[in-house]
Structure 1
Amino acid sequence: MLVDTLPEEFVPAVYSGEGTSADGGRGTARRLVIIGDVHGQTKALEDLLEKVQFNNTKGDHLIFTGDLINKGPDSAGVVAMAMRLGAHSVRGNHEDRVLLAHAAMNKKSPATAADALTAHQVAEAALSKGDQRDRETARSLSDEQIRWLAERPLILHIGPIPRGGGGGGNGQPPTFENMVVVHAGLVPNVSLEAQDPWAVMNMRTITLLKRRNKDEKKKEKKKAGKNKKGEESEPITTVVYGHDAKSGLQVPKEFGKGKRGYTFGLDSGCVYGKSLTALVIEVKDGAAVYEIVQVDCEAAAAVDAVAK
């Protein structure tokens, strides 16, 4: 699946009353907790959920930016936790690799046990180190976990946050006009449905093939706000992504009041002994607010030092 939409029931919203059943009785809107690349680090994930006081019985909802698996010691444990908590996730390049490995491993069945052993040894000998790791991860996952990973979209569209209110009242647009979660990134000025699947899971940078002319720059400015006639512009998209551990946590220096970046990079290198990061979004006084929460991680023994 290329694009999926987060169900309305999970999106932080402004409620007219307090302590309603919709918000879990807290008197506030529900929270979204979006977590960067976990890579099989179960302990760090548990620590982070404890630190943010995650409670899905009170309306909290969990979203992953992909790469829950591989490199770390407990891919199956991380997937099991995500499934148990009813989380949403997008497919990362490591989920894609492991799903491809699983499909290749189950393509045909040898006639005898001896044939199976021989075929396995030949296949393993021909594989690169990365391919062997993908197959090991695939073997560690149950059929149910494989199916769950295979059903994850490449792009999760959340839309405006908050629902039912503005960016603080006075007819202002929502704080997040249009939020999207992907693993690696999006190509600008291309619709979600037309994005290239490989690029969405693998890109880290993008090179524009031509310089923008004055007309294109004017169009971009018009999209960023209301024009002189007061016409509504297209909503600005905020992209939340993972994948780029080398760059680490990427958060806009300014957000709101017309001065803001529109991307949040949440891969902070947990598997390399750095941090695991959550972007926590909730509604206060009619506006969406966010905070960044992190926990320290232990480096996974199996990872390559090059990626540090």
Structure 2
Amino acid sequence: MLSRLFKKKSAAQPLDIARVPEGRRIYAIGDIHGRNDLLLKLIEKIDADDQQRGKAATEIIFLGDLIDRGPDSAGVIETAMKLKQERGHVRFLMGNHEEVYLAAAAGSEKATRFFNRIGGKETILSYEISIREYMDLDNNALAERLPDLIPSHHIEFVKNFENQIVIGDYAFVHAGIRPGIALEEQKPKDLRWIREEFLSAKDPHEKVIVYGHTINDDVIEKGNRIGIDTGAYYTEKLTALALEGEQRWYLDTALSQ
């Protein structure tokens, strides 16, 4: 067990001097949850910001939970696929909602039941099914319907989402990490689902952890983590963290802007 523990003497950097490699500019986007309208608005802001800052190798990272709760999860996936195809340097993390989506799309009755509980109804209705048909299907029938309803190219796209991305002094994950465990030994379950154990950790991590999953009114900056899930699906505020060198700044879709 001792060999698995993260040693505090490694090269962890405090938040105020964490950096990404020279020549790279990173935009990390928080949980979208079916708000394709806000995603399109934020991409416009990212593009405008990127253009005014001069030349760099620009990358966009989605922190997961693209789907559920909001009205247009299918549209979000289409937008994400188009961005990836047109720009290339776009990466996606697997969130807990994507994990359940994939299980439900495979026809699992148990996963379909849970999917509906966590906002999957809105995702299902963003595909080619009427509210009447949806209401007429019991859970077993709905589970049988989903493999034909959800397009295979959406499934294949989401299946390729990553568990974590490390760039410079930052590690990007969906939910957080298990404290005391090296990044390369983190379990996908923790990266997608963990909450309290991660949020309550005070000691430095191996990297500064950038995450979504846990909603706050505004960005959360602690010495060992940055949280950027600002509850877009109901607050109208989708947030992106931008990083270049030792600089960091934020863009969002708040109505006041």
On whether the aligned pair clears a TM of 0.5, the verdict is yes
Cα distance in 2 for residues equivalent to 1:130 and 1:103:
17
Cα distance in 1 for residues equivalent to 2:220 and 2:39:
20
Whether the 8 Å CA contact 1:270–1:296 is kept in 2: the answer is no
Counterpart check, 1:292 vs 2:231: no
- The aligned length equals 202
Aligned to 1:280, the other structure's residue is in SS state strand
Segments of 5+ residues of structure 2 without an aligned counterpart are: 1-18, 85-89, 128-145
Distance 1:97 1:245, change over 3 A: same
CA shift digits 1:2-40 (9 cap, x unpaired): xxxxxxxxx9643xxxxxxxxxxxxxx342110100011
Segments of 5+ residues of structure 1 without an aligned counterpart are: 1-10, 15-28, 106-122, 161-177, 209-216, 225-234, 253-260, 298-308
Which one of 127, 134, 142 corresponds to residue 113 of structure 2? 127
Q: Tell me the residue number matched to 2:100.
A: 97
Counterpart check, 1:194 vs 2:185: yes
Whether the 8 Å CA contact 1:102–1:135 is kept in 2: the answer is no
Larger radius of gyration: 1
Cα distance in 2 for residues equivalent to 1:294 and 1:39:
15
Q: Tell me the residue number matched to 2:170.
A: 179
Cα distance in 2 for residues equivalent to 1:127 and 1:30:
42
Q: Tell me the residue number matched to 2:71.
A: 73
How does the TM-score come out when normalised to structure 2? 0.68
Cα distance in 1 for residues equivalent to 2:24 and 2:190:
32
Aligned to 1:275, the other structure's residue is in SS state coil
Q: Which amino acid aligns with 2:194?
A: M
Shift of 1:100: 0.5
Q: Tell me the residue number matched to 1:302.
A: none
Cα distance in 2 for residues equivalent to 1:45 and 1:134:
17
Shift of 1:78: 1.3
Question: More displaced, 54-63 or 35-44?
Answer: 54-63
Counterpart check, 1:263 vs 2:225: yes
Q: Which amino acid aligns with 2:46?
A: V
Question: More displaced, 132-141 or 79-88?
Answer: 132-141
Q: Which runs of 4+ in 1 moved over 3 A?
A: 54-59, 126-129, 137-141
Shift of 1:48: 1.2
| Bigger RCO (CA 8 Å, 6+ sep) | 2
Cα distance in 1 for residues equivalent to 2:121 and 2:79:
21
Aligned to 2:106, the other structure's residue is in SS state helix
How does the TM-score come out when normalised to structure 1? 0.57
Q: Which amino acid aligns with 1:195?
A: Q
Whether the 8 Å CA contact 2:72–2:122 is kept in 1: the answer is no
Aligned to 1:85, the other structure's residue is in SS state helix
CA shift digits 1:48-81 (9 cap, x unpaired): 1212325699732110110011111111221222
Shift of 1:279: 0.4
Give matches, 1:221-236, under 5 Å.
236=206
Which one of 25, 33, 38 corresponds to residue 32 of structure 2? 38
Shift of 1:207: 7.9
CA RMSD of aligned residues (A): 3.2
Counterpart check, 1:142 vs 2:144: no
